C-alpha cells in the first residue's frame, strides 16, 4: 500500500516516519516545508496539495490541529475529496468533534471511499516509539485493510464502533488526561506548601491507588524545570473545548471537566499555550502564590 500523510507536526512527523520505516511508500504534504524536506530525505515523495496526495496513494492520513483544519484539507480547493478514486481509504489521526467526523465519513461515503476516524493517545514519546493507543471509528473492512499501517505507529488498536466513535473515545480520554494533569499540579503544590518533599510524596503514592500514566511520566520533567511539550497546553485546551461543545450537543453535564477547561483557558490567557499540558501546574502555582521547587 502506498500511504499519504498530511500534517507533520509534533505527532504527525514521527508517525509518518514510522510508517515510512515500516516499508510503506509515502507521499507527504504539510504547510511548513521543513518537515516535508525531512521526510523526503528519508525517502518520501513531496506533494503540492492534498488533492495530489489523494490521487497518488491507496491510504491517506491526516493529522491536523482542529476540526476546521481537517474540513479545509478535505473540502477546500485542491482538497482530498477532489482527488478520491476507487479503493482509496481515508484515515484521520486528528482530534476533532465527533459530529464533524460523522459529517466527513458521510461525504467520503458519497464518493465510494471508506473512512476511519482514528485519533491517538500517548504523546510525542508514543509517536516516536510507535507505541500509541489508536481509537478507531468506522467500518471494520477499512480497519482490516489498514491494520498493517496502524501496527507501525501503535501498540493498542481498538475498534470502538461506527464513524465518530473513535473521536468519542478520544474526548473521553482527554477528560481523564486533563483531570490527571490538574490533580498532579494540585498534589505537588499542596505537598510542598504543607511542608513535605513533593518528590518523596510522588515516590510514596505512585505505586498505590493514585498510580497513573501522568504520575509515571510527568513529575521528573517538572522537577527538572522542563515544561516544554510533550503535548501542548494549547492543544489540550482545544481538545477540552471539543469535549465541552460535544457535551452540550449530547446533553451530558461535565462539571469537573468544565473547571479543568477553565484552568487551561487561563493558561492561554497567560501565554502558556506552547508549554506542555502538565504546565497547568503554573496556574495552581499562581493561585497558591508559590512555585514548585526544582
Residues serving a catalytic function are 170
Q: H helices of the chain, where?
A: 12-21, 33-41, 50-55, 67-75, 98-110, 123-129, 140-153, 165-194, 198-205, 213-217, 219-223, 233-250, 255-269, 281-288
Report d(CA 278, CA 104) in Å as an integer. 32
Among candidate residues 181, 164, 167, the one with its CA nearest the CA of residue 222: 181
Number of Cβ within 10 Å of residue 260's Cβ equals 25
Number of Cβ within 10 Å of residue 107's Cβ equals 18
Number of Cβ within 10 Å of residue 140's Cβ equals 12
| H-run or E-run covering 5 | strand 3-6
Report d(CA 218, CA 212) in Å as an integer. 10
Report d(CA 106, CA 111) in Å as an integer. 9
Among candidate residues 63, 64, 80, 16, the one with its CA nearest the CA of residue 44: 16
Residue 118, C-alpha cell as written in the block? 482514528
Amino acid at each position: 500500500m502506498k500511504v499519504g500523510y498530511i500534517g507533520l507536526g509534533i505527532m504527525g512527523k514521527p508517525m509518518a516516519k514510522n510508517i515510512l520505516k515500516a516499508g510503506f511508500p509515502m507521499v507527504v504534504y504539510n504547510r511548513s516545508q521543513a518537515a516535508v524536506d525531512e521526510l523526503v530525505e528519508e525517502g518520501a515523495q513531496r506533494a503540492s496539495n492534498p488533492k495530489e496526495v489523494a490521487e497518488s496513494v491507496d491510504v491517506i492520513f491526516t493529522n491536523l490541529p482542529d476540526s476546521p483544519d481537517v474540513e479545509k484539507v478535505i473540502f477546500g480547493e485542491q482538497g482530498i475529496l477532489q482527488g478520491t478514486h476507487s479503493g482509496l481509504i481515508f484515515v484521520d489521526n486528528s482530534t476533532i468533534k465527533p459530529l464533524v467526523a460523522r459529517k466527513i465519513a458521510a461525504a467520503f461515503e458519497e464518493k465510494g471511499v471508506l473512512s476511519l476516524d482514528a485519533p491517538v493517545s500517548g504523546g510525542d514519546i508514543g509517536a516516536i516509539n510507535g507505541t500509541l493507543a489508536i481509537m478507531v471509528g468506522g467500518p471494520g473492512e477499512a480497519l482490516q485493510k489498514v491494520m498493517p499501517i496502524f501496527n507501525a505507529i501503535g501498540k493498542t488498536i481498538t475498534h470502538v464502533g461506527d464513524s465518530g466513535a473513535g473521536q468519542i473515545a478520544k474526548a473521553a480520554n482527554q477528560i481523564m488526561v486533563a483531570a490527571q494533569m490538574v490533580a498532579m499540579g494540585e498534589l505537588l503544590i499542596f505537598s510542598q506548601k504543607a511542608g513535605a518533599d513533593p518528590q518523596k510524596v510522588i515516590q510514596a503514592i505512585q505505586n498505590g491507588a493514585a498510580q497513573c500514566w501522568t504520575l509515571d511520566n510527568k513529575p521528573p520533567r517538572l522537577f527538572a524545570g522542563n515544561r516544554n511539550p510533550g503535548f501542548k497546553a494549547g492543544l489540550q485546551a482545544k481538545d477540552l473545548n471539543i469535549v465541552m461543545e460535544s457535551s452540550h450537543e449530547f446533553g451530558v453535564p461535565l462539571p469537573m471537566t468544565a473547571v479543568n477547561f477553565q484552568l487551561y483557558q487561563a493558561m492561554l490567557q497567560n501565554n502558556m499555550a506552547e508549554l506542555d499540558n502538565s504546565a497547568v501546574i503554573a496556574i495552581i502555582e499562581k493561585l497558591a502564590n508559590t512555585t514548585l521547587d526544582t
